[in-house]
Chain A
Amino acid sequence: MRRYLIKRAGISLITMLGIVIVVFFIVRVLPGDAAAVRAGPYATAEKIAQLRAKYGLDRPLWEQFVDYLVGVVRGDFGTSVRTDQPVLGELLARLPASLELAVYAVVVATVVGVPLGIVAAARQGTWIDGVARVFAILGSSMALFWLGLLMIYFFFFRLGWFPGPVDRLAVGTKPPPMVTGFYTIDGALAGQWDIVWMALRFLALPVLTLGFVLAAPILKMVRSSVIETLASDYVRTARAMGVSPRAVLFIDGFRNALLPVTTTIGIVFGYMLGGNIIVEYLFSWPGVGRYAYEAIQTNDLEALQGFVIMVGILYVLLNVVIDLGYALIDPRIRLGRKVTA
């Protein structure tokens, strides 16, 4: 177990270093004058030169890289061209909004995807399976921005069930005292139930939009994983020993099928960290995705670069957590080999 952890940590560190290198060189080396892009399309030559000096773009590339890398390790992701603030600070301030959205969306996707996948696997080939399959294809073919617009059109404009795409709370509402940054939790902690309710109503449409799309890969994975498990030798043994099909499905089938599913849910969550640029833009959600959108609109490459590196690093860290979870569920990893006999 310990050797496994050390090896895992080593690979993660290498990948994170790779992330910084790749992103840095994408931004600096690819055709396109870094300073000119930053200055925007209407900048004068003088303004470009000024920016080049300010960001050290006139120095040798490797020097710039070492500086940047040292900065990242120290928690300095550069300074935003647009706001003149440290990028990391701005990102961290917006992260809770994104995470709250991501967590609820993944929960919705899991709650829909897992049972549907199990039913589809247990009733393989029936009409329920067919419905699940079409649902999965629809989900993985869906354009987030289009689904979001549909949601807004029907549930806000037509039916008026949910608030419009403006923010996390109605205009002029004071957010609850900051503890976790999740308005639903902070509101509950402060006993402000009206805020919790309002936050949930504002979350509803973006969460449903994302949840619909994210349910598809989970559903597919659960289905194939359960089918595979049910066809395994040990399920056959359990059946031969008189265990009922239902017990086999839920005890032997599910626990073992859960292993690959945790990975999928993790990947889905990781995908969320960047996939929500579109949804956050559409719903004016003040998270990191919206920040990235604003950075694109103002050619703020420094901020965009910081966002992408953060997404990559979070994803790697998330994978470490998933692997640990995996190890906890699966005794084959948790305990080494051969203890007895």
Chain B
Amino acid sequence: MTVGVAGDPHPLLREVAFDVEAGEIVGLVGESGSGKTMTSLALMGLLPAGIEFRGGSVRLEGRDLTDDLSCGRTPREITMIFQHPRGALNPTMRVGKQVARVLRINQGLSAAEAKERSVELLSRVGIPGADRVARAYPHQLSGGMCQRVMIAMALGCRPKVLIADEPTTALDVTIQAQIFDLIRGLVAETSCGVLFITHDLAAVAEMCDRVVVLYGGQVMEQAPTVDLFEDPRHPYTRYLLESVEREVDPRAEEKDVDFGLPGCRFAHRCAEAFDRCVDFPPGVEVGDGHVSACFRHLEENSVAS
């Protein structure tokens, strides 16, 4: 998938490719500005005006969604929950009504059925006193409650893939754990796939089966979670993990990514960069389901052989 600003030759996302299996939680990690949110918006057909698909495809169970997405049509099978849950709910509509509306649209229920089901859904996502909460407005609920409401809405869509865009960054740590449990429970129950977007590596370790590391709109490395943490191969991934160990916030050292560069976008920060890095690095299979996009691997291979 390649996505860019209309009229600007340099893509914001370049050949970002990954799979999400049913019942699997895939982490999408990267710093601010790495293209995590842009990726999710592209998958939802919600790219901001002026940003367009350049190439590649999105397939769901063999069906090609690319055309729909590039016309801004949101696929029914994919849905998304956002960070800042309170701002992501309509402030002038009762939350029960917001859930019910989703049910009417996506499950074709009548107004009365939808109302009843919406209360059920709210209690299913662990909201105590769901019938009372259904009549509340978002500003009357805590952030954690709002996130649960949003998850209830997402469930109402019966998604095959759920995109969770930093669902807990705006929440307290204790609430965070509850929301994680909720999402894990729902995956087990409905066996939908989850694309879990975050910059928090601890959350990734806790939640995800596989991880995709994004930097500057390019996939740096993807691997099963255990492999990634135990055997990071890409220089950027190693840098990211070290910065957590050193307790440095990687964002503190953040530099603006130059989207005009043709080659590896991490090259100008990379300690191991060399002359080939001015080209676009290919993904190299370095282990079972473990791919890293760095010319160093090719060098190593050629030296070894």
Contacts and interface: CB of A to CB of B under 8 A. Distances in A.
A–B proximity contact (CB within 8 A): yes
A266 B73 CA distance: 38
Contacts of A238: 90, 98
Given A242-B74, A256-B92, A233 B87 contact: yes
Contacts of A242: 74, 76, 79, 102, 105-106, 157
Contact of A331 (B84, B139, B150, B156): B139
What band does the interface of chain A fall in when counting residues whose beta carbon is under 8 Å from B?
Answer: 20 to 34
Contacts of B105: 241-244
Interface stretch (B11-19, B127-135, B176-184, B260-268): B127-135
A329 interface: yes
B79 A240 contact: yes
A241 to B, nearest CB: 5
Interface stretch (A25-33, A106-114, A163-171, A333-341): A333-341
Interface in B94-135: 98, 101-102, 105-106, 127-129, 132-133
Interface string B194-221: 0000000000000000000000000000
Contacts of A125: 49
Given A240-B80, A241-B154, A242-B79, A233 B137 contact: no
A305 to B, nearest CB: 43
A335 B80 CA distance: 29
A340 B88 contact: no
A239 B154 CA distance: 11
Given A240-B80, A241-B79, A337-B139, 10 more contacts: A233-B87, A237-B90, A242-B74, A242-B157, A251-B93, A256-B90, A329-B92, A331-B137, A332-B139, A335-B140
18 contacts: A233-B84, A233-B87, A234-B87, A234-B90, A237-B82, A237-B153, A238-B90, A239-B74, A241-B105, A241-B153, A242-B157, A252-B90, A329-B92, A330-B91, A339-B140, A340-B140, A341-B129, A341-B136
Interface of A: 124-125, 232-234, 236-245, 251-252, 255-256, 329-332, 335, 337-341
